[in-house]
């Protein structure tokens, strides 16, 4: 089995109002952070039981704040310590305002072969509502630049459910996207996470809250579009052209091991899960003192069952009863008993022991997985 490496770059130029990821808008310690990230890769080279790496993912924060030289050095370090597959998927998450022609050509040369671009919307009013650092023209232009630089694996992120996004705008945007030579599309519903600026604005009455019916309608429009235009809806929020599934994300959903580097990054080795401290200064101090700071959780059978149901049911590969049987009779009995009601309601279908969400079930995915979770 192959494994993946995730590198978290914890800096952003400005804070998007809805975001609850770990990042800092002060770039003062960027160079020191970069050295610490290299150091952590050294420290943790034995975390994965197998050294074969099939995907490397630069996430954040904003990884496109790294220079091509920094990307090159991180990849060199990984290449010296691990066995990176010749066809490994090497993705950089990028924001449109960082992507000019020269930068794109240089990072391609450094080894990046897939881009995941945080477009979020092609409309200026949606972008300013979210407080994104780019505008609609930059969102459009960066795709052309990426193609000119020779990138063929292009993914974009879009957000729906934004109060300023009418159904008409959403449909027009999706149609435009289908004409673009992109191979992968991730669409997330805007959520108001506690403690974010958006949460604050909604509570103060300065922003409209997310309308659940609008969000459900826009998810339905998205599903219709994906079926009509030949996208493979392979995970609740992810759509791909055939043969362009995101390898890195797919390996998370399939329960494969991965090593996470950088502040707040998670790692998983099939027995335990651990996460680095989500604080830039403390992360750097810990690495510099030779003792990386993280929390570790050994996974119980119940954790493994719940995680398996949560991730597998959201995918096209579905939830395999054989996997649940390996965790023991208790879980098998619980699953078979609780899943019946959703089969009867036609939200889940079963074929040869594989359970998948059908169209109506996808709309209720969060509720259904919560019901299937094993409680004491």
Instruction: Find the distance separating the first CA and the last CA of the chain, reported in whole Å.
Output: 33
Which is closer to ligand SF4, CB of 197 or CB of 232? 197
Examine residue 308 and tell whether it contacts ligand SF4 (CB under 6 A).
Answer: no
The 10 Å Cβ neighbour count of residue 207 is 18
Site for ligand SF4 in 224-263 (CB under 6 A): none
* Binding-residue pattern over the window 102 to 141 for ligand SF4, x denoting contact by CB under 6 A: ----------------x-----------------------
Binder of ligand SF4 out of 62, 91, 214, 264 (CB under 6 A): 62
Closer Cβ to ligand SF4, 199 or 256, answer by number = 199
Sheet with 153-160, strands from edge to edge, namely 232-235, 238-240, 184-189, 153-160, 114-120, 83-94, 52-60, 3-9, 258-261, 266-268, 272-276, 294-298
User: Which SS3 state, helix, strand or coil, does residue 77 take?
Assistant: helix
Q: Where are the beta strands (DSSP E) in 15-99?
A: 52-60, 83-94
Give the residue with the Cβ less far from ligand SF4, 23 or 170. 23
Q: Which stretch binds ligand SF4 (CB under 6 A): 10-18, 205-213, 289-297, 307-315?
A: 10-18
Look at residue 253 and give its three-state secondary structure: helix
- Which CB sits closer to ligand SF4, 61 or 318? 61
Is residue 15 within the footprint of ligand SF4 (CB under 6 A)? Answer: yes
Closest approach of ligand SF4 to the CB of residue 240, in Å: 21
Q: Which residues does 183 contact at the CB level (< 8 Å), separation at least 6?
A: 152, 153, 154, 155, 240, 241, 244
User: Binding pattern to ligand SF4, positions 72-101, x when CB under 6 A?
Assistant: -----------------------x------
Q: How far is the CB of 94 from ligand SF4 (least distance, A)?
A: 10
Asked if 61 touches ligand SF4 (CB under 6 A), the answer is yes
Residue 157 · residue 117 · CB < 8 Å: yes
Which token pair is 61? Answer: 């924060």
Least distance from C-beta 274 to ligand SF4, angstroms?
A: 21
Total interface residues for ligand SF4 by CB under 6 A? 11
Q: Using the rule CB under 6 A, give the single segment among 59-67, 98-106, 301-309, 337-345 that binds ligand SF4.
A: 59-67
In this structure, the number of other CB atoms found within 10 A of the CB of residue 286 comes to 19
Smallest distance, ligand SF4 to C-beta of residue 17, A: 9
Q: Indicate the residue among 67 and 338 with the shorter CB distance to ligand SF4.
A: 67
User: Which tokens sit at 234?
Assistant: 């392979």
* Pairing mode of beta strands 354-357, 348-351: antiparallel
Q: How far apart are CA 318 and CA 309, in angstroms?
A: 9
361, 314 Cβ separation under 8 angstroms: no
Site residues for ligand SF4 per CB under 6 A? 12, 15-16, 19, 21, 23, 60-62, 95, 118
């Amino acid at each position: 089995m192959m494994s993946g490496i995730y590198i978290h770059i914890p800096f952003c130029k400005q804070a998007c109002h809805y975001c609850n990821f770990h990042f800092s808008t002060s770039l003062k310690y960027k160079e020191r952070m970069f050295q610490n990230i290299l150091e952590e890769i050294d420290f943790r080279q034995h975390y994965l039981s197998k050294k074969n790496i099939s995907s490397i993912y630069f996430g954040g924060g904003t990884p496109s704040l790294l220079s091509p030289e920094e990307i090159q050095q991180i990849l060199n370090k990984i290449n010296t310590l691990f066995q990176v597959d010749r066809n490994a998927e090497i993705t950089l998450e990028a924001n449109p305002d960082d992507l000019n022609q020269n930068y794109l050509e240089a990072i391609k040369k450094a080894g990046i072969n897939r881009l995941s671009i945080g477009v979020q919307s092609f409309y200026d009013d949606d972008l300013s509502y979210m407080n994104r650092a780019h505008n609609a023209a930059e969102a459009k232009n960066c795709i052309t630049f990426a193609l000119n630089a020779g990138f063929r694996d292009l993914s974009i992120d879009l957000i729906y459910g934004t109060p300023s996004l009418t159904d008409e705008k959403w449909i027009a945007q999706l149609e435009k996207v289908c004409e673009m030579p992109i191979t992968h599309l991730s669409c997330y519903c805007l959520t108001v996470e506690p403690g974010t600026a958006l949460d604050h604005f909604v509570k103060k009455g300065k922003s409209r809250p997310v309308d659940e019916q609008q969000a459900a309608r826009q998810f339905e429009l998205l599903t219709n579009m994906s079926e009509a235009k030949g996208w493979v809806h392979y995970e609740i929020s992810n759509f791909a052209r055939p043969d362009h599934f995101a390898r890195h994300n797919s390996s998370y959903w399939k329960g494969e091991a991965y090593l996470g580097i950088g502040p707040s990054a998670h790692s998983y080795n099939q027995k335990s899960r651990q996460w680095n401290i989500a604080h830039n200064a403390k992360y750097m101090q810990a690495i510099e003192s030779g003792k990386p700071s993280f929390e570790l959780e050994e996974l119980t059978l119940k954790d493994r069952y719940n995680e398996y149901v949560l991730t597998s049911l959201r995918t096209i590969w579905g939830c395999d009863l054989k996997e649940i049987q390996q965790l023991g009779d208790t879980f098998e009995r619980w699953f078979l008993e609780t899943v019946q009601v959703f089969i009867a309601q036609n939200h889940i279908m079963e074929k040869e022991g594989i359970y998948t969400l059908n169209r109506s079930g996808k709309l209720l995915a969060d509720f259904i997985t919560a019901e299937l979770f094993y409680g004491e």
